[in-house]
Structure 1
Amino acid sequence: MPGFFISNRHSLSPRDKNQRVGYFISEICVSSYVQNMLTLAFNQLLFMKRILLTRLVLLGLVFILGACTSQKMYRSGMTSVEMGEYYRSAEKFRKAYRKDNNPQHRMEMAFQLAEAYRKLGDYGRASIWYKNAIRRNYPDPKAMLYCAECLRAYQNFEEAKIYYQQYLEQFPDDQQAQNGLAACTYVPEWEENPSRYIVAPVKELSSKFSDYSPAFIAGRDNELILSSMRESDISGKRTSAITGQHFGDLYRSEFQLQKQKWSEPELIDDSGIINTEEDEGAPAISPNGDLMVFTRCRFDKTKDLGASLFAARMSRGNWSEPVLLPLTSDSLVAAHPAFSPDGNTLYFTSNKSGGYGGYDIWMATREGSTFGKPVNLGKEINTPGDEMFPSVDWEGNLYFSSDYHPGMGGLDIFKATKDEDGKWTIENLQVPVNSSGDDFGMTFIHEENPRGLFSSNRKGSRSDDIYSFYLPPKVYRITGEIFDKETGQRIDGARVRVIATDGTNLRMRATDGKFQLKLNPETEYVFAAYRDGYLNDKIRENTIGLTDSKDFHVNLYLTPTDAPIKVENISYAFGAWELNEASKHSLDSVVQILETNPTITIELMSHTDHVGSDKFNFDLSQKRAQAAVDYLIERGINPDRLVAKGYGETWPKKITRELARQYDFLKRNDELTEEFINRLTPEQQEIAKSINRRTEFRVLSTDYHEKFTPETEK
């Protein structure tokens, strides 16, 4: 094409062109020199045009070839999407996106790149490409929902809220979006208040490739099998179009007591029986260790084989040839097996029909040497999202990962507990077990408190890494101090009696006024402190319903019996003796003291100030004291333990340490006589007189014992 174009341009010879130009110039009397110069310039112009046209043609060809290549790459990427090759589709779309200027293609590629990164667990990149697709008006609103989910998993909560809200404006009843929006609020609270689980990376089991789904052998804590995509003699350098990593194999590791670390993982089989050129992973070991069920992804160019479960038996240290478990058809997925504690139930993940959307958890019961028809665990466990990687602890509690149940984003680990009626209760394990990444593949050691391993690609991981977890037992401790209520000093030699609803009944000495005790869970306690010359004091504490360890601290105050004890907040109308509701409430504290100290008898004493006649004040104070005694009798206190006595103004108050701290014009042991009060300022006098108007009690004896008649006993 370029040669033909140039030959046509030469059909008119240079000489003929010069003759026409020379004729034109001679007509205007231009010199021959000028004619020669013009002729030369004209020839140079023709040459430059040829070069420019040639370059334009070459650029056009490059553009056409580039467009063809990018479109081919786009179509190839879409084929990889249809085959579920997430890693390979991302590679193809990245290359095509830079070269393909078709707006429709770029929009579709942005969405498919986001989908690939989301399914690979790279939520940061996924959110960037979702936003790109949305900006290009991608028609499916799901792009907004997935963008919000990835932003939340990437802990960009504020931006995630915006996309959730935009999506909910169109679909206000979408449960997944509602859960995600709520999570943007409670997940930061989880991070600030982590659970009792202790989580740590197990570096010796983790490589730069994906290491996941460890399984302890027979529940022992010193031997395990795990899945890994690290390079091996079997997997070679071949990589998966789905993950971009090597095909998975099963490895074995032992815990080295002397080094206190796991050994370097080694292939459990290098003969091609268990580990093959296909993809093996996610094992489960029966409770007695003689049967292993694992996932194998088979490949056949003629048909889709999906993922299947295979079973192999251990005999004399060697694994038998694996046998396919016919739990689903070939084109469906059966993966991530787990045994029940008795080994009679097999849990697994599948997308078989009859589920609730995505991948569900199913169970099959052992029937002889195989397993029966799978049963879906139901909508309490399974959701429209993905539920995967089931495992069971030694108490029979089910653990699984989900991207739909309310969580932190990505896959979270949940605990499911079944009650007596067969109803499941679902609990998110929260921080630090769960993270903003994918958390899955938990396995347990047979112990009272949950302990084991799980997989995560959380921040700080090189890929999917192995982490240890441990839930320490809940520990409840109480420390207490016993004080003299008057002096505020700790009382040495006091004793404490402890009574609890679990049958605890003990007495202990409080050394230097201090005591401590370990408490039992789900128990209510009463702590009573006592010492000769003091009224007893008691306090209640309980550990019922506590979900975390707790340290309690209590103070008990013993009141000396060698001085009157004021009953706070007893007040009357002027010249009256009827008790108001506030006074009755204050007398309830006296009821409590009498019940805590069942061997004491007391005298209720009422005092007035010096205003008024002596007789009036005596009569009024007696009626007030009797009113207080009558109320205590109404509350069930035996009359034999009570004496009412009115003292009028004859017993002025002596200032205590507490009153001296409260009023700076009074000193300890000042006696508020009429003479003393008259020396004070008018304002101070009113305070002093109010202190004298009081109700007190004093202990008369400490050896009272209730006498019961047959009628009382009846």
Structure 2
Amino acid sequence: MNSFCRYMGLVVAICVLCLVSGLAQETVFSGLKSDLKRADRHFQNQSFKNALELYIQAEKKGKGDQEIYLKVARTYHQLNEPNQAVSWFERYLASNQTLPTNDVYSYAESLTSQGAYQKAIKWYKKYISHNPENQYVIEKIWRLKNIEYLYTDSTYYEIKEVAFNTEYAEYGPAYMDSGLIFVSNRKVKGGIINIDPITNQPFHSLYFVKLFFDSVRNKYSFRKPRRFLRGQNKRWHQGAAATSGSKLIFTRNTMSRGDTESRLQLYWVENLAGTWKGEKPFEYNSADYSVSHPSLSKDGETLYFVSDMPGGLGGNDLYECTWTASGWSQPQNLGKTINTTGDETAPFIHNNQTLYFASNGHGGFGGLDVFKVVITDDHPAEVQNLGFPVNTPSDDFGLILNEEGSHGFLASNRENGGFNDDIFEVIVDLQSYPLIISGIVRFNNPDWLELNRLDILPNAHLKLVDNLKDVTVYETYTNHYGAFSLKIPYSSKYRLQVSQELVGQAMVSLEIPKNRKLHTAHEIVVVKEKFKK
């Protein structure tokens, strides 16, 4: 499924003559010979709701053979309705038909989104029998067989729906000033409401909501959302945005190729005397592919975004640009550690170090899951699934976090399914990074008469070693009293190399508490037998 559909509210569907009414569209297609051919044309143009309606009509009239079951299943899969997709795939299979390889994968994906993991594993294995080199599907099978690991940190998160959600879609949260900007196709009272003729719903627009923290009740409250960048909306959908200082970059769809195809593009505006103006297109916009869903580093000099430009690994990949004296650098694909043959989307760079993103290509609960990866100078670290309750068998995406990593927001369709997303508040009690820990290094000599005696180890050289990469990431010394302070740069498995001129060198394990409330002073004890001269 093309995840761009979600982020612009089925915007791809409007590529079919979006400027004319639904009646005019039917006139255009009236020359087609049958409902099935009309439905096929709608499906090819990604107007899936219209295609589904015609397929269902044709099936009820007894037109077509078992192939219509497969076409309905494919359409429900594109509309992100896994329960219906599974039902129609199974009707097709019950008629003694064999699923084409791509549909085997779609069926397995729909089963995963249902939470039918054992059945999904069976069909992923069928797909692998035709594509044995696909490591991403092998990863999905392993993850589903070990799904219990994704519940390990569940007690450290609290997820609750925000008060400003409506019956329409809300998604794409991003911090701005003392509030949030987000995307919605909600109806607003008063004024002219622009309606998309394909979906018969309002166009997707940007909104701003003010945040207030209630220190007494330890919770956030929200003012009534208001339209944002109204002047930049014009006649198209707006999508996810990001800010840095006085500049903002947002997504908007644009027609191309004689108004027959829709592409997502990025546009810059600047806050001048309290007004956003001076709209400029991102220099890598294209009529041949889409760019969308931006995220900016804190200094505004690194831009992450989503694109289906040629040369990628799958449907939609994540890219990076850096600001130079001559403008934005050429987009760089973030590579196969992060990108997959599926879709990656909704990037968020946290403290210039940890990249959060959503993917349906990496193994998880099903649909889009949220992942994180530490961005290093040489290459990305291991991609980690955030687990339950951030992720569910539904689509979960668009996670953002405050600077401390203790609070944020997330979009998900866990309540309503399909493309009817809501925004959820996320409270995190996990340790945040970079983290400063302090403590005392002591050592014990078994030869001492007092077996429990612990002496301080002054002027010892400490090296913090990342076990996964086997590299030193931080060095320091204990003082005259054996005290130390260490900077833990990111979440990983660590060991500490302790060296002291009089006793030699030893290696000890260093456990970092997952819960920030458990962060206390560390006492590191090294037994003399572990020292090597």
TM-score (norm 2): 0.71
Task: Classify 1:423/1:391 alpha carbon distance in 2 versus 1 (closer, same or farther; 3 Å).
Answer: closer
Instruction: Report the number of matched residues.
Output: 435
Instruction: Give the drift of 1:308.
Output: 0.8
Instruction: Check the 8 A contact 1:439/1:456 in 2, yes or no.
Output: yes
Partner of 2:50: 88
Instruction: Check the 8 A contact 1:292/1:311 in 2, yes or no.
Output: yes
Instruction: Give the drift of 1:443.
Output: 2.1
* Partner Cα separation in structure 2 for residue 424 and residue 244 of structure 1: 44
Q: Secondary structure at the match of 1:425?
A: coil
Of the three residues 193, 205, 212, the one matched with 2:164 is 205
* Partner Cα separation in structure 2 for residue 180 and residue 523 of structure 1: 31
Instruction: Give the drift of 1:203.
Output: 2.3
Partner of 1:110: 69
Partner of 2:442: none
Give 5+ residue unaligned stretches, structure 1: 1-67, 477-494, 508-518, 525-541, 553-594, 597-634, 636-714
5 Å-filtered alignment, 1:34-73, equals: 72-73=34-35
Instruction: Give the drift of 1:357.
Output: 2.1
Partner of 2:234: 276
Partner of 1:126: 85
Task: Classify 1:180/1:234 alpha carbon distance in 2 versus 1 (closer, same or farther; 3 Å).
Answer: farther
Instruction: Give the drift of 1:392.
Output: 0.2
Residues 440-478 of structure 1: CA deviation (Å, up to 9, x unaligned): 11223222x3532121112467921112223325499xx
Instruction: Check the 8 A contact 1:381/1:424 in 2, yes or no.
Output: no
Partner of 1:224: 180
Partner of 1:630: none
* Partner Cα separation in structure 1 for residue 284 and residue 183 of structure 2: 22
Instruction: Give the drift of 1:248.
Output: 0.5
Of the three residues 317, 323, 327, the one matched with 2:274 is 317
Instruction: Give the drift of 1:196.
Output: 5.5
Answering whether residue 316 of structure 2 is matched by residue 356 of structure 1, we say no
Instruction: Give the drift of 1:153.
Output: 1.7
Task: Classify 1:295/1:189 alpha carbon distance in 2 versus 1 (closer, same or farther; 3 Å).
Answer: same
Instruction: Give the drift of 1:225.
Output: 0.7
- State which structure, 1 or 2, has the greater radius of gyration over its C-alpha atoms: 1
Specify the code of the residue in structure 1 equivalent to 2:413.
N
Instruction: Give the drift of 1:118.
Output: 2.5
Partner of 1:151: 111
Answering whether residue 350 of structure 2 is matched by residue 393 of structure 1, we say yes
Partner of 1:182: 142
Task: Classify 1:176/1:246 alpha carbon distance in 2 versus 1 (closer, same or farther; 3 Å).
Answer: farther
Task: Classify 1:194/1:92 alpha carbon distance in 2 versus 1 (closer, same or farther; 3 Å).
Answer: farther
Q: Secondary structure at the match of 1:328?
A: coil
5 Å-filtered alignment, 1:659-678, equals: none
Instruction: Give the drift of 1:170.
Output: 3.8
Partner of 1:468: 425
Instruction: Give the drift of 1:366.
Output: 2.4
* Partner Cα separation in structure 2 for residue 225 and residue 249 of structure 1: 10
* Partner Cα separation in structure 1 for residue 57 and residue 479 of structure 2: 73
Partner of 1:383: 340
More helix by share: 1
Partner of 1:661: none
Residues 661-695 of structure 1: CA deviation (Å, up to 9, x unaligned): xxxxxxxxxxxxxxxxxxxxxxxxxxxxxxxxxxx
5 Å-filtered alignment, 1:218-617, equals: 220=177, 222-232=178-188, 236=193, 238-239=195-196, 241=198, 245-257=201-213, 260-270=220-230, 273-286=231-244, 288=245, 290-299=246-255, 302-367=259-324, 371-447=328-404, 449-459=405-415, 463-474=420-431, 544-546=510-512, 548-549=514-515
> Greater CA deviation, 208-217 or 128-137?
128-137
Instruction: Give the drift of 1:246.
Output: 3.0
* Partner Cα separation in structure 2 for residue 235 and residue 365 of structure 1: 40
Instruction: Give the drift of 1:333.
Output: 0.7
* Partner Cα separation in structure 1 for residue 377 and residue 302 of structure 2: 19
Partner of 1:194: 153
Specify the code of the residue in structure 2 equivalent to 1:167.
Y
Instruction: Give the drift of 1:285.
Output: 0.8
Task: Classify 1:194/1:112 alpha carbon distance in 2 versus 1 (closer, same or farther; 3 Å).
Answer: farther
Percentage of identical aligned residues: 25
Instruction: Check the 8 A contact 2:141/2:363 in 1, yes or no.
Output: no
Instruction: Give the drift of 1:425.
Output: 2.5
Instruction: Give the drift of 1:214.
Output: 0.8
Instruction: Check the 8 A contact 2:111/2:120 in 1, yes or no.
Output: yes
Specify the code of the residue in structure 2 equivalent to 1:277.
R
Residues 489-532 of structure 1: CA deviation (Å, up to 9, x unaligned): xxxxxx9979688859999xxxxxxxxxxx998798xxxxxxxx
* Partner Cα separation in structure 1 for residue 221 and residue 402 of structure 2: 16
Instruction: Check the 8 A contact 1:401/1:440 in 2, yes or no.
Output: yes
* Partner Cα separation in structure 1 for residue 316 and residue 191 of structure 2: 30
* Partner Cα separation in structure 1 for residue 349 and residue 495 of structure 2: 29
Instruction: Check the 8 A contact 1:213/1:283 in 2, yes or no.
Output: yes
Instruction: Check the 8 A contact 1:240/1:247 in 2, yes or no.
Output: no
Instruction: Give the drift of 1:142.
Output: 1.8
Instruction: Check the 8 A contact 1:227/1:249 in 2, yes or no.
Output: yes
* Partner Cα separation in structure 1 for residue 130 and residue 403 of structure 2: 49
* Partner Cα separation in structure 1 for residue 285 and residue 32 of structure 2: 40
Task: Classify 1:236/1:299 alpha carbon distance in 2 versus 1 (closer, same or farther; 3 Å).
Answer: farther
Of the three residues 74, 98, 106, the one matched with 2:36 is 74
TM-score (norm 1): 0.54
Specify the code of the residue in structure 1 equivalent to 2:411.
S
Partner of 1:42: none
Partner of 1:622: none
Instruction: Give the drift of 1:372.
Output: 3.4
Instruction: Check the 8 A contact 1:201/1:465 in 2, yes or no.
Output: no
Specify the code of the residue in structure 2 equivalent to 1:180.
K
Specify the code of the residue in structure 2 equivalent to 1:238.
I
Task: Classify 1:264/1:95 alpha carbon distance in 2 versus 1 (closer, same or farther; 3 Å).
Answer: farther
* Partner Cα separation in structure 2 for residue 381 and residue 260 of structure 1: 33
Task: Classify 1:165/1:378 alpha carbon distance in 2 versus 1 (closer, same or farther; 3 Å).
Answer: closer
Specify the code of the residue in structure 1 equivalent to 2:175.
F
> Greater CA deviation, 307-316 or 255-264?
255-264
